[in-house]
Structure 1
Amino acid sequence: MLKSITGGAAVGLAGCLGSESSVSVLSAGSLAATFEDHVGPAFKSETEITVQGEYFGSNAVMRMVEDGTKHPDVVVSADATLLRDRLVGTQTDWDVEFATNVLGIGYNADTAFGSRMAAGEEDWYDLIRETEQGDVAISNPEQDPLGYRAWQAFGLAEREHGIEGFRSEVWDLVEQVAEEPQVLGGVEGGSRAGAVVYGNMARDHDIPFEPFPAAYNFADPSLADHYATAEYTFEDGTTVEGRPILYNATVLDRADAPENGRRLVEFLANNPDDVLGEAGLATADSLPRAHGTLPDGLTI
């Protein structure tokens, strides 16, 4: 069984992107291992189509599509609303929500912070305030939802636990990692104690993970109004509200291999053999869910 191309924050596309035997994907970095180790091989086995992927923060993904830097067949976002706001109406007319995730802290149990997390005798929000600057990482909030969800989670945690100034204090302590797929790199090696990540990312790297409580883990759709009370303002002045984690995918109007792209989106939506579950993602009862009018022949 062939495996998709791997390595780094950006995985180079090989071969002809318009080939009928391949489909190019530009995806949220948190799904790098999901596509490389799970979706890609399973899709290849079922269809004989190779998934060729590149992985960045979802904000960066949208910019690359908008400015023409990248020309993928399929775009996948870790924030369904982000994809719709940026691409629907200009690059595509539809998308399919196919999976959810949970936010929390992945950690190295051999570090001081990690060993105390593993012992479970103290709450994460007390332990993180005792770390040194850079001991805990987040991804760059200007680049992807994982980063701005960390900011939003710290704010919600401040209110939930009544810790005045918590968000600002922790924000000054954490280290921002430029590329989302690399945020756990130092944690694995022990040079960093932990990172705010999605549950599937910790599973990908085989490290311990403690999900945040439902009040700020962005995993409970019934708490959407509560999550929306947390905001992050980008450097350009635009603001994004907190919202439940929802992954969605679409095929671009200008795709070189649109049929292969539609087959991949259908594969994600129907999740044969629980491929997404094996990758550490969740599929809620409400999923898959289409937005807009799906292309003819795409069934979810």
Structure 2
Amino acid sequence: MTQRPNSDTSRGNSRRRTTRRAFLTGAGAATLTALAGCSGGENDGGDGESGGATDTDGGTADGTDSMTESATTESSMGDSMTIFHAGSLAPPFSEAEPSFEDEYGVDVNREAKGSVASTQKITQQGRSADVLGTSDFRLIRDRILPDFGDWYAIFTTNSMSIQYREDSPGAGDISKDNWWEVLTRDDITIGHSDPAVDPGGYRAVMTQQLGKEEFNGERLYDESTYQALRDNSVVPTGTETNLEGQLESGELDYVFYYQSISSTADKPFIDLQPEVDLSQATSEYAKHYAKAEVETGSGTFTGAPIAYGMTVPNVAEAPGRGAQWVEYFASDAGRTVLEDKGLVPVDPIVVPANGEDAVPDRVMNVANAQSNLGPLEL
């Protein structure tokens, strides 16, 4: 589909992509301020002992005989694999799937759902997946490790935006400089996904919260405007992937969701201020983003720069295939897919230094091990 942004959008996208790519390339050398991660997580059931991660080549380090090693390799590299992933990862993962299947001769089965809900499939429902991809890496760090996994990789970033129809009420008036004034009118309905199951939902609320918080002595609007935004906001769906259809049908007038979705859809959108869009991975912005907090039935979430994570859980049935999938998105082909779908790849991908020994060789060969990614504590 063809992007149809306003002039603010196209200039803003170019500036942000350049800034974030430059930061992410040199993040390890920055002076870092760690953010608090998600708190109030689930009391996950299960003992997490459904099998450890196997390295990509299926080899062993304990001198087992060749027959055992061959069986391990065959199990690790099954002819099918399962991926649980965030709804906002559906476009790039769907795009990558056919070529990945052709290259490796494997049948890829994907389940798109909010990242919180995707994580709960493993921690609460006892299900197995060979890859878990979340739009907030902290869900893996805080809820998968150490019981259901040993490592993760940060591989892409995003930002928040507002999309609308050309005939949405106020569409002729709205701009980057006044979106809160239009969205607080009496005849406006704003939609976002469910914060309890989807980071896109709690980040939508955070975006609204941050507009009333001072940044460098200024703020976009006051407390009463924030309350009016919340009064006009509804949660019609669990994940952000369904919002576009509800916007198209007229059920919603405006939606808060990821810039990657907005920029690849055939509708106008607003590219938001960096103080509210959760795009800036610097200590100054991270401290500001952390002022936002959203309480949900599945935990309390604190604002932070957006960073996506992937892991091969310990419950994986074909962990070698999972490692191949992570490796693919560290390659030129994978990064191109991410960029084509409006995301900003982390190049190279980053894994936590304290879990480096658990990372499969296939992934470690294309990753950097770091203690922090800018202000984000790994």
* TM-score, normalised with respect to structure 2: 0.69
> 2:203 maps to which residue?
149
Report the alpha carbon displacement of residue 18 of structure 1 after superposing the two structures with TM. 8.9
- Structure 1 unaligned segments of length 5 or more: list them: 1-16
Matched with 2:62 is none
Q: Deviations over 1:216-255 (max 9, x none)?
A: 111110121211121112236x422101111110001121
Task: State the Cα deviation string for residues 235-291 of structure 1 (Å, max 9, x = none).
Answer: 36x422101111110001121111111000111123426111011101245x41112
Matches within 5 A, 1:63-74: 63-74=120-131
159-168 or 57-66, which deviates more? 159-168
Which region of structure 1 is more displaced relative to structure 2, 159-168 or 193-202? 159-168
Decide whether aligned partners of structure 1 residues 250 and 112 sit closer, same or farther in structure 2, where only a CA change above 3 A counts.
Answer: same
Aligned to 1:207: 267
Q: Choose the corresponding residue for 2:84, options 8, 22, 26.
A: 26
In structure 2, what residue type is equivalent to 1:141? P
The count of corresponding residues between Structure 1 and Structure 2 is 278
Q: Does 1:123 align with 2:178?
A: yes
- Residue 81 of structure 2: SS of its match in structure 1? strand
Q: What amino acid sits opposite 2:86 in the alignment?
A: A
**What is the Cα deviation at residue 206 of structure 1?**
2.6
* Aligned positions of 1:1-300 closer than 5 A: 20-36=78-94, 38-117=95-174, 120=175, 123-132=178-187, 135-159=189-213, 160-180=219-239, 181-222=241-282, 223-235=285-297, 238-272=299-333, 274-284=336-346, 287-291=348-352, 292-293=355-356, 294-298=359-363, 299-300=365-366
CA RMSD of aligned residues (A): 2.2
State the Cα deviation string for residues 88-116 of structure 1 (Å, max 9, x = none).
10111000000001101011112223343
* Deviation, structure 1 residue 204: 4.2
- Asked whether the equivalents of residues 76 and 321 of structure 2 are also in contact (C-alpha less than 8 Å), the reply is no
Deviation of 1:148 after TM superposition, in Å, equals 0.8
Choose 1 or 2 for highest CA Rg.
2
Report the Cα distance in structure 1 between the residues aligned to 2:78 and 2:223, rounded to whole angstroms.
57
TM-superposed deviation, 1:69: 4.8
Task: State the Cα distance separating 1:200 from its structure 2 match.
Answer: 1.4
- Overall identity of the aligned pairs, in %: 28
The 3-state SS of whatever aligns with 2:108 is: strand
Aligned counterparts of 1:147 and 1:217: Cα–Cα separation in 2: 13
Q: Structure 2: how far apart are the matches of 1:58 and 1:50?
A: 23
Cα offset for 1:45? Answer: 4.0
TM-score (norm 1): 0.85
Aligned-partner SS, 2:310? strand
Structure 2: gaps (5+ residues): 1-74, 214-218, 367-378
